[in-house]
């Protein structure tokens, strides 16, 4: 796999294994049109032994989800030689979803764990499911980092979600909290201000670092302006410092967290809230893989805005990732 570089836009998805079909293609059927894009970019030469489609239940958007599931099943069945699995799971219970994956793992696991050929399209996953899926594949199965594809969305200066239903620590990312230390809260910010602000109020941290996407995708100055305006209630608070993080480079996001960690590790518990882009969430995973004492927290939205539902797919990117060195 290519070493760390820049995100690369792709028009066609080819297989990784030059001698035969890949092992796994994993994606998620969501209400978003972009959840279809990677599967539709697979060409005639793309072959895979097994495809796994997660379906995270969204009762308010059931028709859109079911329509996209049908399209994904139809497309992937053309490219899959041994079976297409569908995993239906609840939005607020990622452990249950990964348990279903574990139940079929003996049937669809890679033939050679030392040289696996796995592609994940992260576009339709929620961030908490994405963290749990990577933990299972990389930390539990020791398979190394898979190839990761992400389809962006067109920009719109509007909020993505409304309200907050609950706050929870992400399973397997509980970290180690010392009562002798204060808390620093590191929040990746985007267009979901209520979710980030609610977490900030819940923790009441001694110090907060707000990570804002900059430079924005396509160098759109309106994106950065709106992101800061959108999160003004948080970033205007005392003891909140704003720093930049790029949108689609997981290792750059990981490096930003690494810098913060080395500044504060002796005096603060580090808590991370991933409310930015999904590639940034991959960066959170990479960081926690090396620093398991950090805690990751998540807040669930009440619902999604109409503007979110109307957003169209943007570019499909191959994310730059370095394989994990196995022990």
Instruction: Tell me which residue of 318, 245, 254 sits closest to 282, measured CA to CA.
Output: 254
Architecture of domain 161-305: 3-Layer(aba) Sandwich (3.40)
Which fold is adopted by the domain 8-154+312-318? Rossmann fold (3.40.50)
**Residue ranges of domains in the chain:** 8-154+312-318, 161-305
**CA atoms of 202 and 218, how far apart (whole Å):** 34
- Asked whether the CA dihedral 91, 89, 288, 175 is positive or negative, the reply is positive
pLDDT number for residue 159 = 65
Q: Given this chain, do its domains 8-154+312-318 and 161-305 carry the same CATH topology?
A: yes
Helix, strand and coil content of the chain, in percent to the nearest 5, comes to 35, 30, 35
CA gap 35, 69 in Å, rounded:
9
More confident position, 299 or 221: 299
| pLDDT(2) > 50 | no
Q: pLDDT tens-digit profile of 89-139?
A: 988 899 999 999 999 999 999 999 999 999 999 999 999 999 999 999 999
pLDDT tens column, 162-209: 777 889 999 999 999 999 999 999 999 988 889 999 999 999 999 999
Of 211, 215, 320, the residue nearest 270 (C-alpha): 211
Is the predicted pLDDT of residue 267 greater than 60, yes or no?
yes
């Amino acid at each position: 796999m290519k070493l760390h570089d820049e995100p690369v836009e792709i028009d066609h998805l080819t297989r990784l294994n030059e001698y035969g079909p890949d092992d796994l293609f994993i994606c998620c059927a969501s209400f978003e049109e972009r959840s279809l894009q990677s599967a539709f970019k697979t060409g005639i030469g793309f072959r895979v032994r097994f495809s796994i489609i997660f379906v995270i239940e969204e009762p308010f958007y059931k028709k859109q989800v079911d329509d996209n599931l049908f399209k994904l099943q139809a497309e992937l069945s053309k490219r899959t030689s041994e079976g297409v699995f569908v995993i239906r799971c609840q939005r607020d219970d990622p452990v249950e979803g990964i348990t279903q994956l574990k139940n079929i793992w003996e049937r669809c696991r890679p033939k050679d764990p030392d040289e696996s050929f796995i592609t994940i399209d992260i576009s339709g996953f929620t961030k908490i499911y994405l963290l749990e899926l990577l933990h299972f594949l990389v930390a539990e199965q020791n398979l190394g980092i898979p190839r990761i594809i992400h389809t962006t969305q067109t920009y719109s200066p509007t909020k993505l979600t409304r309200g907050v239903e609950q706050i929870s620590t992400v399973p397997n990312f509980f970290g180690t909290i010392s009562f002798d230390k204060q808390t620093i809260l590191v929040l990746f910010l985007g267009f979901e201000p209520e979710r980030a602000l609610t977490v900030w109020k819940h923790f009441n941290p001694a110090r907060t670092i707000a990570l804002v996407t900059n430079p924005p995708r396509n160098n759109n100055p309106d994106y950065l302006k709106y992101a800061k305006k959108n999160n003004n209630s948080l970033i205007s608070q005392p003891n909140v410092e704003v720093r930049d993080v790029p949108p689609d480079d997981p290792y750059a996001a990981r490096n930003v967290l690494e810098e913060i960690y080395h500044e504060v590790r002796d005096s603060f518990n580090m808590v991370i809230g991933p409310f930015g882009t999904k590639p940034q969430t991959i960066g959170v995973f990479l960081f926690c893989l090396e620093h398991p004492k950090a805690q990751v927290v998540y807040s669930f939205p009440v619902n999604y805005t109409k503007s979110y539902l109307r957003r169209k797919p943007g570019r499909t990117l191959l994310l730059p990732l370095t394989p994990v060195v196995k022990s």
